[in-house]
Chains A and B, each alone.
Chain A
Amino acid sequence: MPEDTFALRIFRFDPESGKDPGYQDFQVPRGGRSGGLTVLEALFYVLEHQDPGLAFRYSCREAICGSCAMYISGEWKLACQTQVGHALEGNVVTVSALPHLPVIKDLVVDMEPFWRNYEKVKPYLINDGPPPEKERLQSPEDRKGIQEMADCILCAACHSACPSGIANEDYLGPAALTKAYRFVADSRDTAREERLTLVGNEQGIFRCHTIFNCVTSCPKGINQTYSIQQMKKLVMKRNLGLQL
């Protein structure tokens, strides 16, 4: 019955066919096994019952692994976290691969440009001192200061949503910059100067135009712009020879 189904409009691209990319509609029943239905479950329904050739990424289905960021009905979302009922436009849910990243097949994008930028900011704790016998102490306040940045699941939604580096794979992007600030703000890290040099340029923080699309698109509610603005201030302070 048509009223019990909705149309899942999926971005399709098959690299082996030589055909142009486009959208394809599938009729999917609304009710899942548990009453609600997430977009990820709907994709599985299509895979199992309608088109075994559909390609998409998945893992945890609970919004922590970061596999299934997609562009769903005009917004950047995790497919697993999005209820079909919330993404309906009329009777249609539109799902496409993350914009701006090269598409490998259907909803699977090449994450290489994203990871390349992630690695550029030295995304690991650097501490020159010898490790103590026990833990390095960190006050609960200092710990709280990095909570937001450390919550990032590296899903690349913000990276894909950011218009600042839209045609520029060298722009570090909000995810990598937030990762950089996660360590700049960590009281245990000693490579602040080095990191600020890595990000303090026009392929880094100064490419950010404070558009806040990253913030809007983040499925974990992280404010990437905050991290970026904090680093702009730190770099200017450093340029002016002030104490960091």
Chain B
Amino acid sequence: MSTREGSWAWILQRLTAVLLLALLGAHFFVLHFVPSETYITFSGVAARLQGVLFWVIDFGLLVISLYHGLNGVRAVALDYWPRVDRSLSLALIIIGLIATLYGGRALTVFIRGM
């Protein structure tokens, strides 16, 4: 993304922020307020993730929070190092993709319950 533009990065940051508020609220509620076993275990999480809704929440969280967070890092960096934009964006995209794939694979492990 070139610094000449940036309005889409800006609006996406707002849209993901709103989505994250909703998803995180759900995530918190599920983890801490829905009665379940006291401790988090593989089988507990795996059981929960059989429900499609929870699957969507967790996978959505993974992708959206990574976008929002890494785009935030970019915004911070450009304040101080305005000329690193191209290489920085590339690095962040790579980090984001790796983290999505790695985290996504973990989620599928839970869903398969293995």
B70 to chain A, nearest CB (A): 16
Knowing A206-B9, A206-B10, A232-B10, the reply to whether A201 touches B4 (Cβ < 8 A) is yes
- Residue-wise, chain A 80-94 has the 8 Å CB interface mask toward B (1 for contact) of 000000000000000
Asked whether A188 is an interface residue with its Cβ less than 8 Å from the other chain, the reply is no
Asked whether A47 is an interface residue with its Cβ less than 8 Å from the other chain, the reply is no
Asked whether A174 is an interface residue with its Cβ less than 8 Å from the other chain, the reply is no
Asked whether A100 is an interface residue with its Cβ less than 8 Å from the other chain, the reply is no
Contact in complex: B6, A206 (CB < 8 Å) = yes
Asked whether A163 is an interface residue with its Cβ less than 8 Å from the other chain, the reply is yes
Interface size class of B (residues with CB under 8 A): 10 to 19
Asked whether B39 is an interface residue with its Cβ less than 8 Å from the other chain, the reply is no
Residues of A within 8 A of B78 (CB): 168, 202, 207
Contact in complex: A201, B3 (CB < 8 Å) = yes
- Residue-wise, chain B 7-20 has the 8 Å CB interface mask toward A (1 for contact) of 11111000000000
Contact in complex: B6, A166 (CB < 8 Å) = no
Residues of B within 8 A of A235 (CB): 7
Residues of A within 8 A of B3 (CB): 201-203
- The residue in chain A whose Cβ has the minimal distance to the Cβ of B1 is A202
Knowing A206-B10, A236-B11, the reply to whether A201 touches B5 (Cβ < 8 A) is yes
Complexed CA–CA distance, A226 and B98 (Å): 40
**B positions within 8 Å CB-CB of A:** 3-11, 75, 78-82
The 9 closest A-B pairs by CB, nearest first: A202-B6, A168-B82, A202-B3, A206-B6, A206-B10, A167-B80, A201-B6, A201-B4, A235-B7
